[in-house]
Amino acid sequence: MAMEGLGQSSEEKVSDMMQFIGDFMSDSVKDRSSAEHAFNLVKQNCHEDLASNLCLFQESPKEKKRAMAAVLLRKLLTGNFLQQLSPNLKSNVTTKLLLRLNEEEQKDIRMKLCLVVFAVASVYLPEWPEFWPFFCRSSDSTENRHLESALLILVKLSPETMMLNMQCIQLLFSNSLC
């Protein structure tokens, strides 16, 4: 699957992306290999479209598609990829990521999204303005899934990063112990 994107209607792009994610989940080694190759090509040549589409697929009603989109997002956003995006798209991707994590009901997908958030935080903090407010809201939440997400992200952060907002971390521990 080429995932070309140029000159395609939005329906064709969505269809291509559905096929692309489906190929990654295929039992066929050939399909998965082809999807991996296409992913690497698109990552190099159409990275903004890929980032946007993977964020869009986080809203899929199909759990397996959301899980695969989270895995691919983590793969995409690890390293300096985020810095290659336009400031507007970078903000859009990171905002959607936090919103999706906040809304996700499925524990395994939430855990995958926590890994994506950590991957972004490890290269984008302290310049990620939405991160600490999100972390503090999650830490102060009465919902266990939000507290769990905050704890999962916390254990991955470096001590230097944690020192940036110790007040939220203390709040998280006090709410988790209650």
pLDDT in tens, 78-97: 878 888 888 998 888 899 99
- Beta carbons within 10 angstroms of residue 140's beta carbon: 15
Residue 97 neighbours by CB under 8 Å, 6+ apart: 55, 58, 73, 113, 116, 117, 120
Other Cβ atoms within 10 Å of 173 Cβ, number: 14
Looking at the structure of the chain, the number of domains it has is: 1
pTM greater than the 0.85 cutoff: no
CA distances from 102 to 83, 114, 132 (A): 24, 10, 14
In a domain, 38, yes or no: no
Classify residue 178 by burial, with Cβ atoms within 10 Å: 0-12, 13-18, 19+: exposed
Q: Would residue 80 count as lying in a domain?
A: yes
User: What are the pLDDT digits (tens) for 22-48?
Assistant: 777 888 888 888 888 877 887 777 777
What are the two backbone dihedrals, phi and then psi, of residue 131, each rounded to the nearest 5 degrees? Answer: -65, -55
**Within a domain: residue 30?**
no
Please give the pLDDT value at position 2. 42
7 assigned to some structural domain: no
Q: Are 53 and 3 in contact (CB under 8 A)?
A: no
Give the structural domain span for 157.
46-177
Residues in the chain: 178
Q: What is the pLDDT of residues 120-134, one digit of tens each?
A: 988 888 788 899 899
**Residue 109 included in any domain:** yes
Q: Is residue 119 part of a domain?
A: yes
Domain annotation covers residue 142: yes
123 belongs to a structural domain:
yes
